[in-house]
Structure formats: structure tokens, C-alpha cells
Chain A
Amino acid sequence: MTRFFGPGLPYADLGELKGVLITLEGTDGVGRSTQLVQLKQWLEVQGYGVIDTGWTRSELMSETIMAAKAGHTLNQLTFTLLYATDFADRLEKVIIPALRSGFVVLADRYVFTAFARSVVRGADPSWIRNVFGFAPVPDMTLYLKTDVDTLMPRLLRNRRVDFWEAGMDMHLHTDLYESARRYQWRLIREYNRMSRQYGFDAIDAALDPGEIQERIRRKVQGLLEERRMQTLTDNLEALRPLLFEEAPTPAARGGRGAAATRTAGATTTASPAVLVQAPRRRGDLPDA
């Protein structure tokens, strides 16, 4: 069953979300996008259908957000709500349909980015979590972890730091560098808190990009294999009544019942151990 941060989408019949939702989190300039592109290619080569989605890329809101960020009228509330609207649009139009069709969805930033940005701007943490109560809890959150001393030169090397990345709206300092440093320090502290609270899979962003990709792939592979086993045990569970409960009365029915038992038996001989383990194993796994 899909879990949500809050009440979810009560009006929508979501059906079974067969896909896997993987999110990549971390502050500005830690290399999320590069890693995501490589991960996507790697998964596609293995035959997975992959859809990626990024912050503020919704059809409904992207232009509005760009225009709003160019102006000077946004405050903590409207900033948060614009992001929430963008996110909801992508969730219902892109992420959920893809999950329903069994895709692997890679999200460049997820609700945690909104949580961090709002909380450092003074929002009540429980309010902002409620606002995003319609969002599904991801299957895995990869977190590119850094510290502000490592981040600052890296952020500046990429391109010029903009008003919002420097948190200039918060009036922490009149100097761009000082403001950015203080703002990013606060964001990182918030991400680290959430990493503990939500159990992120943290990876040191200071590692060589190739090494980071290796680690990401190992984690993702582990998740996908676990998912495959889960599906297999679920399918076998569904077959169980056919295999065992109907089996004890075959002789009287003659050839037909016996034949059916033989056929069904043949499909399971390959993995009897999994079948026996099934109920316990399902309980052990985290909710999907």
C-alpha cells in the first residue's frame, strides 16, 4: 500500500501503484542533476521504464513561479504555496500516472526541499508537513550530503549564485556571500535533521562523482531487487489457495484434478523456500 504524509488524495482512485518512487535530495549545487541523468540512463539500459521530474517544472506553475521569483512580492507563505501547487500538479499529472503504470520515477528534489526552505524561513514545521499531506512517501530518498565549507566554492564555481540561492529574502546579511553561507548552513542543518527523521540514504557529496554514482546504483539496485522479491512472494501468495487448499481432493475427480495439481506444482518447484517464507518476509519489509 502506498503511504502518504497526510490524508493523501481522498477523491482519487489511485489503484495499485506498481512503480517505484526514488527521490534525490540535497541543497543547491551538490550535483543532484548530474547524478540523476546517469542513474536514469543506467536504469533504462537495464530495461526499466524511467520518468524524471524536477522542482518547479509543472505545466501549470513553472511560468508563474519564474515570474514571481523575478519580482519582490513573495513571502514565506506564498513561496511555499507556489511550490506546493507546482508539486501537486506534477504529482497528479506525472508522478502518479507513471507509478500506476509501473515506471521508476526519479524526482530531482521532493517535499523535503519545501520543508527545508519553509522551515528556515520561519514556517511551523507541522504546518508545512500538513500542506504536503497529499504526497506519497517515497520508496527511497537519496541524500547528497555536504557541509557549508565544501559547498560554498562549489556553488560559486557552477555559476553565479542567485538571489534565492543566497536566501537574500531572509535579510541574514547584506553581503551576497555571507548571506548565502548563512542560508545554506541553515538549509543543510534542516536536511540533516530530516535525514534522521525520515531515514534518508545519505551519500557524501564530496566524493568523486563516479564513486557517488556507484553508491547510488548499489542502493537503487538493492531496492529494485527487494521490490522484485516482494512482487514474487505476493504473486505466490495469491496462488497459494490454488496450489494447496484445492489439492487434497484430487483422486475422486480422476485425471483432471491430478493434472491441474501437477501443472501448478511445476511452476513453484523452482522456489519452494520463498513460498514458505512469504508471510513472514512480507511483514519484515517496510511498507511500499
Chain B
Amino acid sequence: MKVRTASRSRRAGRLIVVEGIDGSGKSTQIQLLHKWLEARGIEVVFTAWNSSDLVRQATKRGKKKNLLTPTTFSLLHATDFADRLTYNIVPYLKAGITVLADRYIYTAFARDAARGVDPQWVRDLYAFARKPDAAFYFRVPIEVAVGRLLGSRAKIKFYEAGMDLGLSADPVESFRLFQGRVIDEYDRLTTEYGFRVIDGTKNIDTQQRQVRDIVRRLYDEPAAEAS
């Protein structure tokens, strides 16, 4: 292995991602992590799933008019991801800045497979993605997620509930069935990709302590070299 001098070698930023179904509490946890890292003087940027400008209009239209099929749903999200990887993730990592991602490619693996898309096809589709330094999975039973969503929001969204699959005419029941499938997929992915599983039913501060313990170790070890 080539050894570089300290002045020339740049330490790559860490890529930390959170996964889990809607209502699992992952977004709360990544926000708390963000604050904590900044307080420790670590430079951090944040990127959210499905947030690029490139396909925003198409996604909005597709969702509003229910135009999306499992394949176009999958490809639109892959396009969004490719755009964010190019502009919002890779350059920052190269500059040594930590990137926090609310949902990553595993969201696509889980959701698209739950929609009936070929699981290997989705994995190959995202072959260009960068492997994260840590992937947290916030695991909650489906009833906990449903309870949180119903408590916080008036309506469950069409695609979030997998209404496009026609599992049930009732959005809450459809959500249960569809997100139940997503949880099964996440469980498969947990062993395949070595997720750090956090029990999402625990207190917020208990979960955050577990997350920080793991993240702290990422900064103790030497990071993978910027590529």
C-alpha cells in the first residue's frame, strides 16, 4: 500500500446514513447527530432522499397524477440519487467533510423490492453508489410507526402507503401491509449490509447515545482515503 505524507493526503469525510420506515424516528436521530457533530467542531452537510432539483417536477407530477409504475418510481429515485451523489455527496467527502444522509440506497432496495421489482436489478442499478462508513437502521414494529404517523399527520401519503399496489383501499391498512413488507426487506438487508440496528421504540436520548458511541469510533479510526 502506498503511504502518503500528511501534507499531501487528505482525510476523506465520513458518510453516515440512517434508514428505517416512515415513523421510525430516524430523522429526529440524524438531526440530533448533526448538532452533536457540529458542536464537536466537525464540519457536516446533510442530504435528504429525493431532494434534487433535477427530477423534482417529474416526481411531483408523477405522484400527483399517479403516473408512476414500480420501475419508473425506482428509476426516478435513482436519478435523484445520482444527481445528489455527484453534487451533494462525493465532492464533500473528498474535501474531508462529513455527509449525513437521511435515507440512502437501502431505501430503494427495500421499497422497490416491496413493490415487486427484481431485487438484484435494483442493487445493480445502484452499483455506482459509494459505500457508507456507517448505516443505522431504526427498527420499529409496524404498529408503533402507524401510531406515530397518525398522531402527527392528518393523512398518510399515497406512495408511502403503497396505495399504487392496490393492497387495500384503506390508506392505514395499505400502509400497514406495504410498510410491513418494507420491514421484511430491511431485515434481509440488515444481514446483507451489516446495518447498525437501533431499537426505535427506546427513548430518544437512549437511541442517540447508542448512535453517538458508534459514530465517535468512526472518527477515532483512520478514515478511508479520498478517492
- Residues of A near any B CB (own CB < 8 A): 6-12, 59-61, 63-64, 67-68, 73, 75, 77-78, 81-82, 84-85, 88-89, 92-93, 124, 127, 130-131, 133-134
Query: In the complex, which of the residues B71, B118, B120 has the most CB atoms of chain A within 10 Å of its own CB atom?
Result: B71
The reply to whether A82 and B79 form a contact with Cβ atoms under 8 Å apart is yes
CA distance A134 to B83 in the complex (A): 22
Q: Which residues from B are CB-within-8-Å of A9?
A: 70-71
Contacting residues of chain B (58-86) with chain A, CB-CB under 8 angstroms: 58, 61-62, 67-72, 75-76, 78-79, 82-83, 85-86
The 4 closest A-B pairs by CB, nearest first: A11-B116, A7-B118, A81-B79, A85-B75
CB distance from B49 to the nearest CB of A (A): 16
CA distance A68 to B76 in the complex (A): 14
The reply to whether A89 and B57 form a contact with Cβ atoms under 8 Å apart is no
Is B226's CB within 8 Å of the partner chain A? no
CB distance from B52 to the nearest CB of A (A): 9
Choose from A8, A12, A85 the contact partner of B76 (Cβ within 8 Å). A85
Q: Which residues from A are CB-within-8-Å of B54?
A: 64, 68, 73, 78, 82
Q: Which residues from A are CB-within-8-Å of B67?
A: 59-60, 89, 93
The reply to whether B125 and A131 form a contact with Cβ atoms under 8 Å apart is yes
What are some 9 contacts across the A-B interface (CB < 8 A)?
A6-B118, A7-B120, A11-B70, A60-B61, A60-B72, A61-B58, A63-B58, A85-B75, A93-B67
Query: In the complex, which of the residues A7, A61, A64, A78 has the most CB atoms of chain B within 10 Å of its own CB atom?
Result: A78
CA distance A64 to B127 in the complex (A): 24
B interface: dominant SS: helix
Q: Which residues from A are CB-within-8-Å of B117?
A: 10-11
Q: Which residues from A are CB-within-8-Å of B79?
A: 78, 81-82, 85
Choose from B62, B69, B70, B86 the contact partner of A77 (Cβ within 8 Å). B86
Q: Which residues from A are CB-within-8-Å of B82?
A: 75, 77-78, 81
Q: Which residues from A are CB-within-8-Å of B125?
A: 130-131
CA distance A82 to B52 in the complex (A): 13
Choose from B62, B83, B118, B127 the contact partner of A78 (Cβ within 8 Å). B83
CA distance A2 to B75 in the complex (A): 22
Closest residue of B by beta carbon distance from A59: B67
CA distance A6 to B124 in the complex (A): 11
Is B36's CB within 8 Å of the partner chain A? no
Is B134's CB within 8 Å of the partner chain A? no
Q: Which residues from A are CB-within-8-Å of B115?
A: 11
Q: Which residues from B are CB-within-8-Å of A89?
A: 67, 69, 72
CB distance from A153 to the nearest CB of B (A): 36
Q: Which residues from A are CB-within-8-Å of B128?
A: 77, 127
Closest residue of B by beta carbon distance from A6: B121
List 4 additional contacts besides A9-B70, A85-B58, A134-B71; criterion CB under 8 Å.
A64-B55, A68-B54, A84-B75, A124-B127
Closest residue of B by beta carbon distance from A74: B54
The reply to whether B124 and A92 form a contact with Cβ atoms under 8 Å apart is no
CB distance from B87 to the nearest CB of A (A): 7
Known: A85-B72, A88-B69, A131-B125. A10 touches B58 (CB 8 A): no
